[in-house]
């Protein structure tokens, strides 16, 4: 499942590798969010075997995927960004991981940079995690530091979340969870989905026997104020939705402090628009939060999710820990 909006150049560049996947009974679906760059016409002419789902407007990543998945009947669905290149055998290890364990709902491959294939990529690394205050990170990437892949994360293991850039998920788990939360629009919606899967007693894994290469930043580049706003807003929504009301006042105070420090750091560096985007993220979170008041867990209902019990912010910025392997506190 590839959602795209005015991404014809990316599809021309990356779709051929997906179509060359060595796997039987593979259906490639491109969900077109009302592109105006000739995407639909190019697909029909160049790749008529690709199933095109045309949306009437730009429904972004969350609704774009939800509506397209509803039009499929496969038992397994792979969410994939339109800027991902894959080797022919990438899918087999992911399917095998789900077949081997009925308790696993979703699995991701190892995500490497397209431009520097020796390094992990920002969006997924070798599996995603969350710290006590809702900040996401991955094996291989803490904030802006991307590690060289030297095989240090080649073990398959449970993770907090699998990246939406390339995630294989069981259709029954997807349907039971209700798919992606469309209020998120884009960014971090897969983290919220995976947390809800854990709460429903499913598990999420990373399978590094599979690897793909991600260009990244195709929708919004790093540093774009809109991306900053969405990341802070959706991180708060994820934390609010999936933690108990009794925990939230403490978490909110800490997030105010940490996000305020992030905004101050942006201002000190001359990034006024970034600091304003953090504040806008908080305002939008406050507007959206009431709709989830009745759906939050009554207690600590994260299942057995491997949540990081420390603060990755403090570890990275104060203690200068730059690698996932340097983080000490785990369940």
Mean per-residue pLDDT for 164-183?
97
- At 37-96, the pLDDT tens digits run 999 999 999 999 999 999 999 999 999 999 999 999 999 999 999 999 999 999 999 999
Tokens for 222, please give them. 């790093």
* Six-digit token string for 67: 């509506």
What does the alpha-carbon distance between residue 109 and residue 127 come to, in Å, rounded to a whole number? 8
**Sequence spans of domains, the chain:** 225-326
**Which tokens in the block code for residue 285?**
């979170």
Residue 297 has pLDDT above 60, yes or no: yes
pLDDT at 156: 98
Predicted local confidence at residue 219, as pLDDT: 65
Q: Return the minimum-mean-pLDDT range out of 52-66, 187-201, 214-228, 246-260.
A: 214-228
- C-alpha pair distances (Å), 121 with each of 117, 127, 303: 9, 11, 28
Cα separation of 206 and 221, whole Å? 25
Q: Is residue 151 a contact partner of residue 145, using CB atoms and an 8 Å limit?
A: no
Positions of E strands within 25-117: 29-32, 51-54, 76-80, 84-85, 104-113
Residues 132 and 311: beta-carbon distance below 8 Å: yes
Crossing angle, helix 272-288 and helix 248-268, to 10 degrees? 160
What 8-state DSSP symbol labels residue 119? B
Q: Label the pairing between strands 76-80 and 166-170.
A: antiparallel
Instruction: Read off the pLDDT band of 305 (50, 70, 90).
Output: confident
The tokens describing 27, both together, are 């259906």
Return d(Cα 281, Cα 220) in angstroms, integer. Answer: 16
Q: What is the pLDDT of residues 116-155, one digit of tens each?
A: 999 999 999 999 999 999 999 999 999 999 999 999 999 9
Residues forming a β-bridge with 212: 111
Tell me the backbone φ, ψ of residue 99, rounded to 5 degrees: -65, -30
Tens digits of residue pLDDT in 7-29: 999 999 999 999 999 999 899 99
Query: What pLDDT score does 216 carry?
Result: 86
Q: Helix, strand, or coil here: 25?
A: coil
Q: Would you state the pLDDT for residue 206?
A: 98
Cα gap 177→304, rounded to integer Å: 17
The separation between CA 258 and the C-alpha centre of its own chain, rounded to angstroms, equals 22
pTM of the model: 0.95
Whether pLDDT at 331 is above 60: no
Q: What is the pLDDT of residue 298?
A: 78
- How do strand 84-85 and strand 76-80 relate by DSSP bridges? unpaired
- Top pLDDT among 78 and 304 is at 78
Alpha-carbon distance of 32 to 54, in angstroms, equals 5
Tokens of 328: 């000490």
Per the model's pLDDT, the better-predicted residue between 331 and 201 turns out to be: 201
Enter the DSSP assignment of 291.
G
Per-residue pLDDT tens over the stretch 233-279: 999 999 999 998 999 999 999 999 999 999 999 999 999 999 999 99
93: nearest Cα among 30, 168, 11: 168
Model confidence band, residue 218 (pLDDT cutoffs 50, 70, 90): low
């Amino acid at each position: 499942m590839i959602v795209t909006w005015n991404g014809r150049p990316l599809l021309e560049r990356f779709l051929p590798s997906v179509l060359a996947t060595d796997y039987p009974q593979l259906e490639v679906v491109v969900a077109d969010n009302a592109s105006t760059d000739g995407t639909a016409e190019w697909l029909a002419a160049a790749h008529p075997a690709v199933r095109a789902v045309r949306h009437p407007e730009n429904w972004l990543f969350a609704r774009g995927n939800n509506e397209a998945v509803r039009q499929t009947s496969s038992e397994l669905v792979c969410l994939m960004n339109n800027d991902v290149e894959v080797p022919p055998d990438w899918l087999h290890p992911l399917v095998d991981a789900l077949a081997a364990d009925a308790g696993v709902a979703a699995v991701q491959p190892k995500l490497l940079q397209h431009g520097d294939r020796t390094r992990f990529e920002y969006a997924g690394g070798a599996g995603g995690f969350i710290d006590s205050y809702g900040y996401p990170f991955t094996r291989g990437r803490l904030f802006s530091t991307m590690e060289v892949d030297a095989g240090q994360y080649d073990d398959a293991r449970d993770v907090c979340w699998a990246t939406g850039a390339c995630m294989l998920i069981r259709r029954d788990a997807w349907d039971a969870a209700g798919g992606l939360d469309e209020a998120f629009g884009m960014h971090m919606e897969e983290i919220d989905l995976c947390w809800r899967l854990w709460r429903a007693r499913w598990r999420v894994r990373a399978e590094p026997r599979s690897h793909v290469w991600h260009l990244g930043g195709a929708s919004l580049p790093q540093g774009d104020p809109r991306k900053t706003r969405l990341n802070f807003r959706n991180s708060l929504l994820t934390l609010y939705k999936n933690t108990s009301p009794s925990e939230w006042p403490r978490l909110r105070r800490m997030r105010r402090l940490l996000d305020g420090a992030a905004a101050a750091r942006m201002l000190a560096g001359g990034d006024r628009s970034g600091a304003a985007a953090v504040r806008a993220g908080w305002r939008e979170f406050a507007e959206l939060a009431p709709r989830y008041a009745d759906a939050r867990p009554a207690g600590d209902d994260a299942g057995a999710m491997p949540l990081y019990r420390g603060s990755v912010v403090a570890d990275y910025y104060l203690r200068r820990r730059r690698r996932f392997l340097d983080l000490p506190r785990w369940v």
